[in-house]
Amino acid sequence: MNIFSISIALLGRKFIAMRNILMIPLLSVLLFLTSCGPSQDDQAALALTRANSFLVKNDTTMALAVIDSALVNYPNAKDMRSKLEMMKGDVYTDICNQLKRGVDSCDIIIRQKLKDFVVQERPYDKNKWYVYKRQTFNRSWDRSFIEVNLNDKGVVYLTSNYIGEKSLDHTGIRVYDKDLSCKTESVELNTINNHQSDFMESKWEKVSYKDGASDELIDFIGSHPKRSLKAVFLGKKYYYILLEKYDIEAVVKSYELSQVLRKRETLKKKLHSVDKQICKNC
């Protein structure tokens, strides 16, 4: 090895040593800069402010999302975590109170509307059923008409009742007036919702249009309460009736009541869910 090669080798070693010496303060600077970033307390405090800004806008969903994210991401921010948890509890309490007020408002309306109905119970059914006063059995057993069925959960559907000398074998009904018309879905013969029997030397047929089969017709009647509505029972034979004014009122008022009952049911389910969240945070 000549003198030139030895010199090059020595210079290389010096360069590596100097590079290592320079790297030490550079790494120290990087560590210092990293340690000077926002702490978990600072980040949690920022999340608290952000959540509060959503609450000011009545956006509780986003506020709770921010709070839950902060509680997961900043486990070491002990002081701020307690404030976040307190805010979360306050939010759920406010939501709970709003829902309770909503349920109370529905109850007031329901009590008022129930004055037009009779409360009945059905065998093997835990729900209460509301029958319009002009459609009770004592007033309607001997006539052909369209009956409204409404329970305390807001479920509403129509039933066509026929009584006559000859069977119709009807599977649906159509309501009309001049150029307007609407009908139910068809319900097959010899099924649980299409019942036939003999009644005091007459033929009796009762067809129930459940699970949405009469929703369009309910809306149709409710949209034209002042029209002279007629109905035809659709079967192997047709049978025509004029809808009585009080039968039309039964549809309209039952539908209105069903809307409030459904709203109350939805509020109760939400309230139950919020109560579970409050208990979880206790």
pLDDT tens, position by position, 144-161: 999 999 999 999 999 999
CA atoms of 88 and 91, how far apart (whole Å): 5
CA-wise closest residue to 281 among 46, 95, 53? 95
On whether the CB atoms of residues 114 and 264 are closer than 8 A, the answer is no
**pLDDT over 60 at 189, yes or no:** yes
Q: How far is CA 192 from CA 81, 88, 112, 140, 160, in A?
A: 58, 50, 34, 22, 14
**φ/ψ bin of 178: left (φ > 0), alpha (ψ from -120 to 50), beta (otherwise):** left
Q: Which two tokens stand for residue 53?
A: 């800004």
**pLDDT over 60 at 10, yes or no:** no
**pLDDT over 80 at 225, yes or no:** yes
On whether the CB atoms of residues 77 and 41 are closer than 8 A, the answer is yes
- pLDDT band at residue 13, thresholds of 50, 70 and 90? low
Q: Which of 29-33, 67-71, 115-119, 228-232 has the lowest mean pLDDT?
A: 29-33
Q: Where are the beta strands (DSSP E) in 66-193?
A: 117-121, 128-132, 145-150, 156-164, 172-177, 180-183
Q: Which of 33-37, 165-169, 171-175, 212-216 has the lowest mean pLDDT?
A: 33-37
pLDDT at position 37, please? 65
